[in-house]
Structure 1
Amino acid sequence: MRSFFTESWLTRSFLWLILAVPLLLAATGERVVAAAPWIAPILLLRFARQQPAGRGYALVAMATTGVLAVTWADMVPFDGTAYYAFVAVQGLLFALPYLADRLFAVRLPGLAASLVFPAAAVTVEYAASFGPFGTWGSVAYTQESLALLQLTSITGIWGITFLINWTASVGNAVWEEGLTSPSIRWTTGVWGGLLAATLLLGGTRLALMSPDQTVPVATVMGRHDTSSFWDLRREAKSRKAVRDSARAVQRDYLGRARQAAEAGARLVTWAETAVPVPREDTTAFLDRARTLAASHEVYLAMAVNEFPRAEAEARLQNKVVWIGPSGTVHTEGLKTHLVPGEPGQAGTGTLPTVSTPAGMWSSAICFDLDFPSLIRQAGQNGVDLLVAPSNDWAAVAERHAHMARVRAIENGTALLRPASKGHTLATGPLGRTRARVNHFTTEEYVQMAHLPTDGPSTLYAALGDVFAWGCGLGLLFLIGGAYVRLKTSAQAETARAGAA
């Protein structure tokens, strides 16, 4: 027992694990210090490299699970056993790149060794994005530098994840061997050159690309508390009372939309879940909206919760209904990705599109924007403006709005994101904020903005997740190379032993 503590727990390597914990706390959760995700992995790599592979993986996983249990406590929409199981899985996944580095990077030379950790990090994040929570938890979302984020227009978020983790790998290599080694100097030079080029080209893109024309748009909020409506629906004994309450909300929002149109808006929208519509009243509600659109020559992108009677077999539809200035219902799109446990009918996975004189417009709803492969349709279809009605809560409001902004940069589309219980956001296709409202601290009921009418094409829209797939394939090649070197080394040892 004494030997164990002397040789393991009290060695200097555990200092790096201890120092990494506060940095991890600053790198995850509601509020993030942007530098922390770049520094914490250096310390964790240093620790894992000095431990047996299994023990190092287990301890890194324990540390990250404990940190996530604290920082994500208010961000995850469930609690109890399910919550702790969720963060445990996340912690185990987070630690996998450290295990890969410990097993394979130590058997590879210079540049190849430095690529194992970032390639593994991207592979794990990309694989996790196919789960029910999409890209939630990606380290890329901790960064808000617009120059850096322009990289997502080429690689998606995976390029940011790679750079952050490659920085850790190169930093650890310099820490271990110093810059006296030619291979380390070469590796550091390649890393530094690519990072500098990313920032330089991103800054150049921001400086040179500016919109020629814009369109006035608006998001509106009603005075009615829609959460009170849903409480009423659950408790009301009369369907008539529910319908009367829903009509009051509808009148409120259509009235705000009229104000926005009279103020010059060419497009008006509002937040997810804001307007409830009993199924039997759908036609009447749409008739009123069509009259409004035609009389004010405005486009309406209406976030609607259309719900059936409780005894009906049909399911709630959370959707965006598009009405043009002629009063025509152009199209509608249901929410595709429902939050686990969310009731309703899921959409088909096809984004609706509306061709307008100001460009191609489309819509997706809240959680849909956490899935890059779905929103990539906007870039493929040449969408110039993406409307994204959302409904958040305080702990995720800042991060979720930022995640939506990254989708806009990836696909070269302007973004109009009205949010209840969150941050309403209007950005250009490069991510520049044109308008922003925190609905926890403001009583504004109409937000006006001018958004570009022509978004740039992006490589990410054309190529998709090629970079992520490349990291996965590259990781396999690196593992194969490590195996070959290990086998060759073992054969050489055997030969030397035989000769002796």
Structure 2
Amino acid sequence: MSAHTSHADPPPAAPRPEPAGPQRSAPRTRRAFVPGRPAVWLLLGTFLQLLAVGGRWDVPLAAWLFQTFLLRFLRTTRPWAGIPLVIVVLGGAGLFWAWQLAVPFRPLTIVGVLGLGVVSAVPYALDRLLAPRLGRLGRLLLFPSALATLAFLLGTYNLFGTAYGLLAVTQHDNLALLQVISFTGPYAITFLMGAVATAANHLWEHGRTRQDLSWYRVGPAVTVASAVAVVLVGGQAVLAFAPAATAPTVRIAGINPSAAVLDKADRMLGTAPTDLEAVAGLDPAKVRAAADAINQQLLDDTRQAARAGARIVMWSENSARVRSADEPAFLSRAGALAREEGIYLNVAANVYLPEAPYGRDQTVLFGPDGKVLWTYQKHHPIPGLEDYEAGTGPVPVVDTPYGRLSNVICFDADFPDLMHVDADIMLVPGGDWPEMGRIHTRMAGLRAMENGYALVRSDFNGSSQAFDHQGRVLSQQDTTSGDNPPWISDVPTRGTTTVYRVIGDVFAYLCAAVTLAASAFAVRRPRAATPLPQDGNPA
């Protein structure tokens, strides 16, 4: 080595040239959701919605899934394009419900069902338009709270009550799940299903990879799943450790007019006995003779049921037919029969009136002494199908040796608020058609669980069923054949007091408060910095 060799550090190496070609762009911020196919979510949501309308072909799991896909569709679509399509889906589901249950397509029913579809889209619109302005908790609670609030408002103030749109109806065989309605009313089931939808969407948007599975992302799904599990386990515990009441039972019979007798009355009248306006214009003697043919069969079957041990006998809705002028004599005969057999007899009659509304849908309960204990007139005639004048006043309750008896008529049982009655046994005379009858009786069974009484629905041309206060079916009879012997069921004489019957719709009011508070907060707040993912579309 030369003495002149330098020991200084070598000069830094020259920077390596960048490879030829376009410059590398700055890394993009990771999207919260991988772009999907909104049309697929819409189709899935539509298909599943058709299987969760409270009809003959319901699939219980579909009621837990369809909202998830409809929300996914809306959250990945421009709102003013997506919301009208969801309205179409929900309106179409209502028409599908009416078609499969053979609901007559009259102007009022069509407008009513389509109107329900439009209104049912409100929770979806709130989620799409307002949820991006809320924090995580608000995004998770707004939709289920709005869904439950809407179900409550429709069930209380809508002319159709809960006949359509109450999601709890789709879960009729899951008694463990349904026990919660004895605390909260049926709207808690709606809330849980809505919460599943928002929690699933939150996980869908944020939980794609293992690195994403932080508590922030999976917490809502875990919380909702835990809540559903608590409800199911708690309900199963109620069924297992608080079984049906061991109180004595009473034998209750349901009576229907036979198809043969109705056909005979048709021939005598020259028109259907249910055509009230036509009957009003007929010769009174002819009407009286046709009504007597029907009523005599009912009285004979009542005597047969009493001698088979029935202590309470109820007739299905509008079983008897009687002119208003002949009503006193008819009721005298019925009271005498109750006295002779020592039974409680709940007579259900269509009373022909000489002028509009041409009919009165009522029940009259006779005690074992033959005296009248109540006269009840149907509070909720079916809009567009029944022209009866609506009854008023409280639902009747009568103390008997067999517990406190109460009574509503058919469609009345689709209004939960009307059914808050301190009773042990609720009698529900029904009158349906085959497609509707089986479903309608299941709907009425929810009222038994909500209020803690046994419920007996004697249904013409449908399905008669007796439920205990936990929703168990005690007895049933298919009445679509039109020629049924008296249906007899042994029913517990003591009910129980439920939380829901005492506090009413507190849960629904809480949901309404959350909906209003979240909506007001969202309207006043600027749009969130990180909007809900839109599958590449601007929010």
Normalising by structure 1, report the TM-score.
Answer: 0.90
Matched, 1:210 2:244: yes
Aligned-pair CA distance for 1:254: 0.7
Aligned-pair CA distance for 1:484: 5.3
Which runs of structure 2 are paired with 1:9-408 in the superposition (5 Å)? 12-28=37-53, 29-75=55-101, 77-79=103-105, 82-129=108-155, 130-137=157-164, 138-144=166-172, 145-178=174-207, 180-207=213-240, 208-212=242-246, 213-223=248-258, 224-225=261-262, 228=266, 231=272, 234=278, 237-308=282-353, 310=354, 312=355, 316-341=359-384, 342-376=386-420, 378=421, 382-408=422-448
Q: Which residue of 2 aligns with 1:432?
A: 472
**Would you say the 8 A contact 1:110–1:184 is kept in 2?**
no
Aligned-pair CA distance for 1:186: 2.5
Q: Quote the Cα distance in structure 1 between the aligned partners of 2:132 and 2:419.
A: 39
Query: CA 1:59 to 1:360, structure 2 compared with 1: closer, same or farther past 3 Å?
Result: same
After superposition, what is the alpha-carbon deviation per residue over 1:57-88, rounded to whole angstroms, capped at 9, x for unaligned?
11111222233333422547442655543333
Which runs of structure 2 are paired with 1:393-472 in the superposition (5 Å)? 393-441=433-481, 443-472=483-512
Query: CA 1:84 to 1:277, structure 2 compared with 1: closer, same or farther past 3 Å?
Result: closer
After superposition, what is the alpha-carbon deviation per residue over 1:121-148, rounded to whole angstroms, capped at 9, x for unaligned?
1122222231211112212211111111
- 3-state SS of the aligned residue for 1:383? coil
The 10-residue stretch of structure 1 (282-291 or 178-187) with the greater mean CA deviation from structure 2: 178-187
Query: CA 1:339 to 1:426, structure 2 compared with 1: closer, same or farther past 3 Å?
Result: same
Q: Quote the Cα distance in structure 2 between the aligned partners of 1:303 and 1:126.
A: 30
Query: CA 1:473 to 1:314, structure 2 compared with 1: closer, same or farther past 3 Å?
Result: closer
**Would you say the 8 A contact 1:414–1:455 is kept in 2?**
yes
For 1:26, the aligned partner's letter is L
Query: CA 1:96 to 1:487, structure 2 compared with 1: closer, same or farther past 3 Å?
Result: closer
Q: Which residue of 2 aligns with 1:497?
A: none
Aligned-pair CA distance for 1:361: 0.3
Aligned-pair CA distance for 1:294: 1.3
For 1:320, the aligned partner's letter is T
Q: Quote the Cα distance in structure 2 between the aligned partners of 1:36 and 1:329.
A: 48
* Larger helix share, 1 or 2: 1
Q: Which residue of 1 aligns with 2:22?
A: none
Aligned-pair CA distance for 1:280: 1.8
Q: Quote the Cα distance in structure 2 between the aligned partners of 1:102 and 1:289.
A: 60
Query: CA 1:489 to 1:18, structure 2 compared with 1: closer, same or farther past 3 Å?
Result: closer
Query: CA 1:159 to 1:478, structure 2 compared with 1: closer, same or farther past 3 Å?
Result: same
**Would you say the 8 A contact 1:273–1:318 is kept in 2?**
yes
Q: Quote the Cα distance in structure 2 between the aligned partners of 1:53 and 1:344.
A: 43
Q: Max radius of gyration: which structure? A: 2
Query: CA 1:242 to 1:174, structure 2 compared with 1: closer, same or farther past 3 Å?
Result: same
**Would you say the 8 A contact 1:315–1:345 is kept in 2?**
no
Q: Which residue of 2 aligns with 1:493?
A: none
Q: Quote the Cα distance in structure 2 between the aligned partners of 1:71 and 1:327.
A: 44
Q: Quote the Cα distance in structure 1 between the aligned partners of 2:97 and 2:402.
A: 43
Over the residues paired in the alignment, what is the CA RMSD in angstroms? 2.2
After superposition, what is the alpha-carbon deviation per residue over 1:40-73, rounded to whole angstroms, capped at 9, x for unaligned?
1111111100112222211111222233333422
- 3-state SS of the aligned residue for 1:127? helix
Query: CA 1:410 to 1:211, structure 2 compared with 1: closer, same or farther past 3 Å?
Result: same
The 10-residue stretch of structure 1 (317-326 or 201-210) with the greater mean CA deviation from structure 2: 201-210
Aligned-pair CA distance for 1:185: 2.7
Q: Quote the Cα distance in structure 2 between the aligned partners of 1:78 and 1:177.
A: 46
Q: Quote the Cα distance in structure 1 between the aligned partners of 2:436 and 2:349.
A: 22
If asked which structure has higher relative contact order (CA below 8 Å, sep 6+), I would say: 2
List gaps (5 residues or longer) in structure 1: 1-9, 491-500
Query: CA 1:125 to 1:246, structure 2 compared with 1: closer, same or farther past 3 Å?
Result: same
Aligned-pair CA distance for 1:315: 5.1
Matched, 1:479 2:531: no
For 1:425, the aligned partner's letter is Q
**Would you say the 8 A contact 1:47–1:56 is kept in 2?**
yes
Normalising by structure 2, report the TM-score.
Answer: 0.83
Query: CA 1:269 to 1:81, structure 2 compared with 1: closer, same or farther past 3 Å?
Result: closer
Query: CA 1:370 to 1:76, structure 2 compared with 1: closer, same or farther past 3 Å?
Result: farther
Query: CA 1:214 to 1:306, structure 2 compared with 1: closer, same or farther past 3 Å?
Result: same
For 2:417, the aligned partner's letter is S
The 10-residue stretch of structure 1 (321-330 or 230-239) with the greater mean CA deviation from structure 2: 230-239
Query: CA 1:244 to 1:306, structure 2 compared with 1: closer, same or farther past 3 Å?
Result: same
After superposition, what is the alpha-carbon deviation per residue over 1:19-46, rounded to whole angstroms, capped at 9, x for unaligned?
2222122122332011111111111111
After superposition, what is the alpha-carbon deviation per residue over 1:388-429, rounded to whole angstroms, capped at 9, x for unaligned?
001112222222111100011111111111111211111111
- 3-state SS of the aligned residue for 2:364? strand
Q: Which residue of 2 aligns with 1:3?
A: none
- 3-state SS of the aligned residue for 1:30? coil
**Would you say the 8 A contact 2:244–2:469 is kept in 1?**
no
Q: Quote the Cα distance in structure 1 between the aligned partners of 2:523 and 2:388.
A: 49
Query: CA 1:101 to 1:314, structure 2 compared with 1: closer, same or farther past 3 Å?
Result: closer
Aligned-pair CA distance for 1:442: 7.0
Query: CA 1:487 to 1:59, structure 2 compared with 1: closer, same or farther past 3 Å?
Result: closer
- 3-state SS of the aligned residue for 1:330? strand
Q: Quote the Cα distance in structure 2 between the aligned partners of 1:140 and 1:193.
A: 19
Query: CA 1:83 to 1:306, structure 2 compared with 1: closer, same or farther past 3 Å?
Result: closer
After superposition, what is the alpha-carbon deviation per residue over 1:349-388, rounded to whole angstroms, capped at 9, x for unaligned?
4111111011100100011111111111x1xxx2000000
**Would you say the 8 A contact 1:110–1:183 is kept in 2?**
no
**Would you say the 8 A contact 1:222–1:256 is kept in 2?**
no
**Would you say the 8 A contact 2:461–2:482 is kept in 1?**
no
